[in-house]
Amino acid sequence: MLSFRTEIENPLVQKDIIELDRKIQLHQNGKIDEDGFRSLRLARGIYGQRQEGVQMIRIKLPFGRLNSEQLHRIADVSDEYSTGRLHITTRQDIQIHYVSLDRTPELWAELEKSDITLREACGNAVRNITASETAGIDPEEPFDVSPYADAVFKFFLRNPICQELGRKFKISFSSSEQDSALSFIHDLGFIAKKKLVNGKEVRGFKVMIAGGLGAQPRAAETVFDFLETDKIIPFIESTLRIFDRYGERNRRAKARLKHLISNIGLIKFLNLIVEEQAAISNSSVPISIHGFEITSGKVGIDIPAVSIEDQSAFNSWKQSNVFAQKQTGLFAIGIKVRLGDFYTDKARILADLIKEYAQDELRLTIRQGILIRGVQEALLPFFYEKLSELGFADIGYDSTLDITSCPGTDTCNLGIASSTGLARELENTLRNEFPKYVHNKDISIKISGCMNACGQHSIAQIGFYGMSMKKGALVIPAFQVLLGGGTLGDGNGRFADKVIKIPSKKGPDALRILINDYEDNRNNENTFNEYYLKKGKSHFYNLLKPLADISEVDKDIFIDWGHSESYIKAIGVGECAGVVIDLVSTLFFETEEKLENAKLDLEAEKWSDSIYHSYSSIINTAKAVLIGENIKTNTQAGIVKDFDQYFVESGLIKIGSTLSELIYQIKSNKADEAFSKQYFTDAQNFYKLVDNLRTNALNNES
């Protein structure tokens, strides 16, 4: 009999944990297969990691809020069940790694003693509700969105309408038009608004719908310019019901809300919501704001005497990491947490500091940092001293040096290249060669280990995601470089353009080239994105193209950052992203990239380069459909031969000739303007034809 059975007061929570314990035993005894068990444990925040026999545990922290007791509890749990390392995610959660599956029920029970849950931190459910970390203290906000985010979290936790969705569902609350919670990339995003109704000030939200990142990012659409606060939960419930009913189930890569609304259109989706109104639990759900009030600061605190030895460093820290709250006399302190990783010994000291000298609350940030709230001005020197002792006073909070990175190949099954390793190198490059960027808030750098965008690379001014390159029989760890993304405010944003793929070890060189070019050549452009849009994608492609050349390379290029041996590409089954890596889909995605490269070379009048990109795209397309039929694709010549045999000669695909005749034009034509343009058009048409046939086949299957 496990002790947690009698220690948990909430019967729903107790039942949940007991059920998890029972299912673990059934699974280990062979009574439940892995697929059946996976969905249950994911819905309880238990995620299989890259290393066999251990789990990653995701702790669900609505809008990143933690008090001192909760931080102590998480530290105790990490020490007891894990390694003492805490990782802050881009969804304001905390993850701990290397946990034995057997011990997860008791770990969860320990967390629940301080009202902390794992429930629905992973899996196909409503994920952690995120919000602006400055909510409640932002001088620009119409009102504090915290109570509304909290109410939504509580309403949908364990709610039956969202326990077995076709895919995960993400919701955010932004405190102002700056949209710091990134509403434009969420399934539902809410931006605080106020307006006068009959002479009375009314609270509400601008509502964005069907945004998302991943391999196919989509900007959310505005569904309401103003929705009163008591209507937001009914609208979310209606949306979830329709998504649950009509959302894709078989093709996981097409199962997010963004795909459903793209397919049927927003108007039809809203009509379905109207039809659903009779079924929802309440047409109005008022939300109380009690319990979220912020006082003017603790009374009677003894201000510890502090002697600042380096006044210049202290002033620089205040400029970079401290800002005034809307509450007079109170300040917030930002902590730059490198890669989102910190340890339990420091967590406990930080917990004691905020309880004794601040608001007894901190917020984890979307950029993997920490925000302390409610600090009196007279206490800033004391906090600077204490945070310096913890290594938490590095300047550059929310700056270019505050690089976002997912764990990548450190622990994630889907990681292709070391995102954390590249992040460390880029930060070192900036710190040593471009020190003034420690105060730059314009350029953000975000890195993901694969295309799934856990590091949010698609919305960075400078982004990277993990890939690989081949040189003969050897594989090179690589990154796709993306430029020009970012938040524009009030629900608008721009997704970064994929520019070029380069070896991972060339990442610091790429950053140097980009920043030097920006510094040397910008004129009246105030921001990096303004400069990027003025110069155009082709300029940056040509600027970085020498880095992509792997014709002559040093052996070091085959070794990923943080490793000592040659790189081996190893991709497993993705669980948190809810999708098994589909090699066919990946190949089609890469074909689009190759066609884009061919187009860029055409524009640059590099005829030979363009022709070969077109050729590679045709090979890639043919390879994808052969793999889909379980036909071996060992050589390019074999791909052409087998494609003709299995698809052209059989009449399954009609391309007007054989693939051999189409593709081998490359051997009999001069690399000039006329042929490169014609060959590019042939490659485009071939890809469109095959992709349409494949899409129709998938639709018929579903």
- Where helices occur in 29-67 by DSSP H, the ranges are 34-42
- Where are the domain boundaries for CATH 3.30.413.10 in the chain? 130-279, 405-558
User: Range with the lowest mean pLDDT among 110-124, 312-326, 580-594?
Assistant: 580-594
For residues 270-300, one letter each, b for 16 or more C-beta atoms within 10 angstroms of the residue's C-beta and e for the rest, the string is bebbeebeeebeeeebebeeeeeebeebeee
The C-alpha R_g of the chain, in whole angstroms, comes to 26
Q: How far apart are CA 533 and CA 496, in angstroms?
A: 11
Angle at which helices 344-357 and 68-81 pack, to 10 degrees? 170
For residues 360-385, one letter each, b for 16 or more C-beta atoms within 10 angstroms of the residue's C-beta and e for the rest, the string is bbbbbbbbbbbbbbbbbeebbbbbbb
Q: What is the pLDDT of residue 634?
A: 62
Cβ proximity of 550 and 469 under 8 Å: yes
The hierarchical CATH code for the domain 4-72+85-112 is 3.90.480.20
Which pair of tokens denotes residue 698? 């998938």
Q: Residue 501's pLDDT band (boundaries 50, 70, 90)?
A: very high
Over range 145-150, report the average pLDDT.
Answer: 98
| CA 206, chain centre distance (Å) | 23
Over range 253-264, report the average pLDDT.
Answer: 90
Q: What is the pLDDT of residue 6?
A: 45
pLDDT value at 116 more than 70: yes
CATH superfamily of 405-558: Sulfite Reductase Hemoprotein, domain 1 (3.30.413.10)
Cβ proximity of 477 and 466 under 8 Å: yes
Cβ proximity of 249 and 255 under 8 Å: yes
Q: How far apart are CA 218 and CA 458, in angstroms?
A: 10
Over range 434-443, report the average pLDDT.
Answer: 95
SS3 for 564-617 is CCCCCCCCCECCCCCCECCHHHHHHHHHHHHHHHHHHHHHCCCHHHHHHHHHHH
Percent of the residues in the chain that have a pLDDT greater than 90, as a whole number? 62
Q: What is the pLDDT of residue 390?
A: 97
For domain 311-390, give the fold: Alpha-Beta Plaits (3.30.70)
Cβ proximity of 591 and 498 under 8 Å: no
Its pTM stands at 0.82
**Which residue did the predictor score with more confidence, 8 or 59?**
59
DSSP 425-451: HHHHHHHHH-GGGGG--S--EEEESST
Mean pLDDT comparison of 24-33, 38-47, 377-386, 577-586, highest-scoring range: 377-386
Residue with tokens 């029970």: 109
675-692 pLDDT per residue, tens:
999 999 999 999 999 888
Q: What is the pLDDT of residue 578?
A: 39
CA distances from 288 to 15, 55, 146, 157, 344 (A): 28, 37, 11, 18, 34
Cβ proximity of 492 and 474 under 8 Å: no
CA distances from 640 to 157, 632, 637, 693 (A): 52, 12, 5, 18
Would you give the DSSP letter of residue 81? Answer: H
**Which residue did the predictor score with more confidence, 475 or 75?**
75
326-356 pLDDT per residue, tens:
999 999 999 999 999 999 999 999 999 999 9
Q: How far apart are CA 598 and CA 202, in angstroms?
A: 54
Q: Residue 697's pLDDT band (boundaries 50, 70, 90)?
A: low
Q: What is the pLDDT of residue 471?
A: 87
| CA 501, chain centre distance (Å) | 20
pLDDT value at 182 more than 90: yes
Q: How far apart are CA 331 and CA 335, in angstroms?
A: 13
DSSP 267-285: HHHHHHHHHTGGGSS-S--
Q: Return the CATH number of 583-701, one of 1.20.1250, 1.10.1220, 1.10.10, 1.20.120.
A: 1.20.120
Cβ proximity of 186 and 127 under 8 Å: no
User: What phi-psi label fits residue 84: left (phi over 0), alpha (psi between -120 and 50 degrees) or beta?
Assistant: left
Which pair of tokens denotes residue 390? 């913890």
Over range 536-554, report the average pLDDT.
Answer: 94
Q: Residue 651's pLDDT band (boundaries 50, 70, 90)?
A: confident
SS3 for 451-464 is CCCCCCHHHCCEEE
Q: How far apart are CA 250 and CA 91, in angstroms?
A: 27
105: which residues sit within 8 A by CB, 6+ positions away? 2, 4, 17, 18, 20, 21, 24
Q: How far apart are CA 123 and CA 202, in angstroms?
A: 36
Over range 456-463, report the average pLDDT.
Answer: 97
Please list the helix, strand and coil fractions of the chain in percent, rounded to the nearest 5, in that order. 45, 20, 35
Cβ proximity of 676 and 607 under 8 Å: yes
Return the ∠ at Cα 350 (arms to 345 and 353), rounded to 5°.
Answer: 135
Q: What is the pLDDT of residue 699?
A: 61
614-650 pLDDT per residue, tens:
888 898 898 888 887 778 776 677 788 899 988 888 8
What's the full length of the chain, in residues? 702
Q: What is the pLDDT of residue 577?
A: 40
Residue with tokens 């995601």: 465
User: Range with the lowest mean pLDDT among 96-105, 247-256, 385-394?
Assistant: 247-256
Which pair of tokens denotes residue 25? 């035993």
CA distances from 537 to 69, 217, 219, 533, 587 (A): 50, 18, 20, 8, 23
Q: What is the pLDDT of residue 322?
A: 98
pLDDT value at 569 more than 80: no
- Where are the domain boundaries for CATH 3.90.480.20 in the chain? 4-72+85-112
Q: For residue 548, which phi and psi values (nearest 5 degrees)?
A: -85, -10
- Where are the domain boundaries for CATH 3.30.70.3340 in the chain? 311-390
Q: How far apart are CA 580 and CA 563, in angstroms?
A: 26
Percent of the residues in the chain that have a pLDDT greater than 70, as a whole number? 93
Which pair of tokens denotes residue 527? 């921001």
For domain 130-279, give the fold: Sulfite Reductase Hemoprotein; domain 1 (3.30.413)
Q: How far apart are CA 173 and CA 148, in angstroms?
A: 8
Q: What is the pLDDT of residue 7?
A: 65
5-29 pLDDT per residue, tens:
546 678 889 888 988 998 899 888 8
pLDDT value at 80 more than 50: yes
pLDDT value at 436 more than 80: yes
Q: What is the pLDDT of residue 185?
A: 97
pLDDT value at 200 more than 50: yes
Q: For the chain, give the mean pLDDT.
A: 89
Torsion of Cα atoms, 283 then 289 then 290 then 296, to 10°: 180
Over range 509-538, report the average pLDDT.
Answer: 93
208: which residues sit within 8 A by CB, 6+ positions away? 183, 184, 186, 188, 189, 190, 191, 220, 221, 222, 223, 491
User: Range with the lowest mean pLDDT among 21-30, 525-534, 583-592, 643-652?
Assistant: 583-592
